[in-house]
Structure 1
Amino acid sequence: MVNIMDNLSSVEEQVDEPLGRVPILSYGSGHMLNDITSSCWFTYLLVFLTDVGLSPSDAAVVMLSGQLADGFTTVFVGELIDRFGHFKLWHAGGSILVAISFSSVFGSCLPCKLTGTVSSTLETVGYSTFAAIFNVGWAVTQVAHMSMVNCMTSNPTSRVALVSCRNAFTMVANLSLYGIALLIFSLLQSVSVIVQYRWIAYVSIALGCCFVAVFLIGTKEPGLNQRCQNKSLSRISWTHWFKKILYYQVALVYMFTRLVTNVSQALLAFYVINDLEMHQFSKALVPAIIYVCSLIVSVILQETRWSSWRLKNYFSAGAMLWILSGIGIVLLPSGLHNFMYALSVTIGVANALMTVTSISMEGVLVGEDLNGCAFVYGSLSFVDKVSCGLALYILESYQGNTQTRTNQELAFGYSVTRLGLGLVPAACSLLSAIIAYTMDLPDTRRRPLVEPLLA
């Protein structure tokens, strides 16, 4: 009995030790395929679908079908991972599904080829099917990857470092996508735009798969030691989380944060071209500035000694920056469009502060309840996907209706794009900041990393 207790104590000390640079960087690379395909999904899918002949409303249906499939999958996958473990196996399976189906999303309409007929209904069904399959794989990979954080280490600073590194790779993925797009548009000018988008998707998948291989090789399966440590504990029921007020608070903060980032990404290109009348290259330059600033801030955040107080205040600071940015977006006249580059810096900093801390709040919510952590990440992702899908569907439907957009401009003096990009993220930021300040987060122990990542 003494030997068993000594072994358990040794395991606890091992998982409580701060992580070094290599395991953190290896873990961060594991979401690269998801991130680069997600960036391509939100940036180019609607444009691609309208180019192949779908109406804006049908294209919005395709995106909504994918988001709903993603949301519902996260709940079931979280339950299965909590029950059976094997994080890396789930991650690898989801990545394979993503790689295969995403190429089909940007491919031709398979049902149309099989039946030899072409109709808008059949095309919508065909693209929606592959969009749903892609998002199922995406959800499996995401939940498996996020659930690993609490099982890799119990050190609070290392947990935030893992999340921050993951967010940094998200920025790298977004910048990589725009670099790939610029290269493809430059080298393949003689081919159709549809073919160009397909090559962007294919190259993105190849790059993302390389990073998945790095993750699978360089990251140890975390379930063994932690599950040995907790094998005497029964699996936590999902009703356990629904009895916690903190669960609902974290869920709302995470949902609003994802609405801020996804809505702003979807409307940004329309805003800089149609409302500010900037040059075409600004569609790549403005988001690039945002992602570079987010990357820098994410790396800096990895060096921070975290506490519950700092999590709440850093998040609120990011929310306040987005509120100021939203006001600037609504009021900025086209004649002063160069100020958008300054706003891009503010948005990038705000995105990083809100994203890193909101995901870290999930880790604080889970705490030491590792036998139910996958359900938490899965259920919160469900709320995120459904809300984002519905919000983008409504906004894209308005954007697709030219007459409605014109009437809105005459009535309010502002376009739907300007109001959506400025007010929706600002309102979500304000609500999330209020909720964050009402949280009673358990205080965390602040221990530094073994090696500072900036050293």
Structure 2
Amino acid sequence: MVFHIGTKEEVTDSRSENQRILPSTSQEESPGLVFQWKHWLKEPSFYQVAFLHMCTRLIVNLSQTYISVYLTNSLMLPKNYIAIIPLVMYVSGFVCSLVMKPVSKRMGISITYLVGLLLVVGFAVWVLVDKSMGAETIYGAAVLLGASSASILVMSLSMTATLIGEQTGSADFVYGSMSLTDKLANGLGVLLIQSTRPCGTEAYCPDCIWFYRDIMVSVTGGVGVAAALKICTTLIAQRPAAQTAFGFIVTSWCR
């Protein structure tokens, strides 16, 4: 009620609004093009953003799914940590999301997203190296994971909104496609993890102790590295100077 009553919208002509175009290469070639759902399937940026959105949701959802069993079965912490640690993650994520807007304006959406991914990978390295993580250090790791997850999630949504631009008439297809992609990826991810679980019963064996630690590392670190490589290649492709410098470095290294 507060949103619908308190949000003021600028009343514009629907025809003039639909004639605005998204500043992408294909649309610049065809001024006045109004995107329908089938037009998005021809846009490379649509698949790039979908991949990054899928990686973001895999990191956020799977880490939240398996953090509880990681705490109780890998770290052997009391069960009250099942409530405390997610709360710490949510609070740190909320605080971090408040500063995302000014940070993204200064650094850009892609760079801010890349920084968030580096923090995610930092959490994975921390979990991998600190095998004796206890009640004292788990709070720091939870703050890092919560802040990094919020960062990449907010920036992922910003990327989707930027991709849509003024083509709001087909925004439902874009958001629906992004949601479908991440739901399928998360479902397959959970299915794959559960199928590789050492124990086939509800009881946990000694092999399960480090299984969920490895899951936390591979989900956050592995997917984070994949997303970081993708965003780096996109940034290099968009900047000819950076692309030339990157090619020079690769050529020098090969020599």
Unmatched runs of 5 consecutive residues or more in structure 2: 20-31, 240-255
Q: Tell me how far 1:231 sits from its aligned partner.
A: 4.9
Aligned-partner residue type, residue 77 of structure 2:
M
Q: Tell me how far 1:218 sits from its aligned partner.
A: 3.0
- The answer (yes or no) to whether the contact 2:75–2:133 under 8 Å persists in 1 is yes
C-alpha distance 235-325 of structure 1, shift in aligned 2 (>3 A): same
RCO comparison, higher one (Cα < 8 Å, 6+): 2
C-alpha distance 335-306 of structure 1, shift in aligned 2 (>3 A): closer
Render the CA deviation track for 1:395-421: whole Å, top value 9, x for unaligned. 3455572499748x28xxx63211111
Of 390-399 and 426-435, deviating more is 390-399
- The counterpart of 1:299, out of the listed 76, 94, 98, is 98
- The counterpart of 1:432, out of the listed 193, 202, 227, is 227
Render the CA deviation track for 1:136-167: whole Å, top value 9, x for unaligned. xxxxxxxxxxxxxxxxxxxxxxxxxxxxxxxx
Aligned-partner residue type, residue 432 of structure 1:
A
Structure-1 separation of matches of 2:162 and 2:233: 15
* Structure-2 residue corresponding to 1:365: 163
* Structure-2 residue corresponding to 1:218: 6
- The counterpart of 2:39, out of the listed 240, 250, 270, is 240
Q: What's the RMSD between the two structures over aligned residues?
A: 2.9
Q: Tell me how far 1:312 sits from its aligned partner.
A: 1.3
Task: Compute the TM-score of the two structures, normalised by the length of structure 2.
Answer: 0.77
* Structure-2 residue corresponding to 1:83: none
C-alpha distance 335-254 of structure 1, shift in aligned 2 (>3 A): closer
- The counterpart of 1:286, out of the listed 76, 81, 85, is 85
User: Is 1:417 matched with 2:205?
Assistant: no
Aligned-partner residue type, residue 375 of structure 1:
F
Residues 338-357 of structure 1 aligned to structure 2 (within 5 Å): 338-357=136-155
Aligned-partner residue type, residue 6 of structure 2:
G
Q: Tell me how far 1:247 sits from its aligned partner.
A: 1.2
Q: Tell me how far 1:365 sits from its aligned partner.
A: 1.2
Greater helix content: 1
- The answer (yes or no) to whether the contact 1:330–1:423 under 8 Å persists in 2 is no
Structure-2 separation of matches of 1:226 and 1:355: 33
User: Is 1:324 matched with 2:111?
Assistant: no
Q: Tell me how far 1:333 sits from its aligned partner.
A: 2.7
Unmatched runs of 5 consecutive residues or more in structure 1: 1-212, 444-455
Q: Tell me how far 1:314 sits from its aligned partner.
A: 1.0
* Structure-1 residue corresponding to 2:48: 249
Aligned-partner residue type, residue 218 of structure 1:
G
- The answer (yes or no) to whether the contact 2:18–2:167 under 8 Å persists in 1 is no
Structure-2 separation of matches of 1:250 and 1:289: 29
- The counterpart of 1:401, out of the listed 190, 197, 200, is 200
Structure-1 separation of matches of 2:164 and 2:156: 13
C-alpha distance 380-324 of structure 1, shift in aligned 2 (>3 A): same
C-alpha distance 397-303 of structure 1, shift in aligned 2 (>3 A): same
Q: Tell me how far 1:337 sits from its aligned partner.
A: 4.2
Structure-1 separation of matches of 2:159 and 2:172: 14
- The counterpart of 1:390, out of the listed 166, 177, 188, is 188
- The answer (yes or no) to whether the contact 1:405–1:416 under 8 Å persists in 2 is no
3-state secondary structure, aligned to 1:439? helix
